[in-house]
Structure 1
Amino acid sequence: MAVSSLSQAASSGVIHFRGEIVEGGCQWAPASADVAVTCSQQGKPVTQTLALNSLNGITLYSDSTVQTRVQYLDAQHKLAVLQVTYQ
């Protein structure tokens, strides 16, 4: 998965919200082989570092608050779209 594709995905797109936003979304900071994810929990920032190749199907919190899905755009798995679902 290319880091540049994650960076580009973070700067564009459309987000639709239904319901009430209690806490803001997470900040995703990609690096060469991993990504630092910082989310607010009870008003305090919590950071987790995850390997880029392990992002598909992750649930960041035990209560299923944040889930991820990776869709690869090429057969070599160099380009991908990371979908993040907040519940």
Structure 2
Amino acid sequence: MYEWDERKSEANLAKHGLSFHDARRVFDGPCLTFEDARFDYGERRFVTLGQLEGRLVVIAHTPRGARTRIISMRKANSRERQHYEERLGTP
């Protein structure tokens, strides 16, 4: 089950053209997930790279009990695309 802040999803849609409502479709397909330990966020954070309508996207998320809270979602950059392709092949 997924959850998010609806206002943040709307802002993300305006900025990146991606709605958090579509995140579950990314998790349902081939994806690469790793922990984001670059900073102390006060909680465990993860990054998932996966496909959405032919685009490679990046989702930042955190576990909240049995739910996954979506934090952000955007198009992958070239470094992230290379990371994905090295592990899972060309999208």
Q: Provide TM-score, normalisation by structure 1.
A: 0.30
Query: Would you tell me which structure has more helix in proportion to its own residues?
Result: 2
Q: Provide TM-score, normalisation by structure 2.
A: 0.29
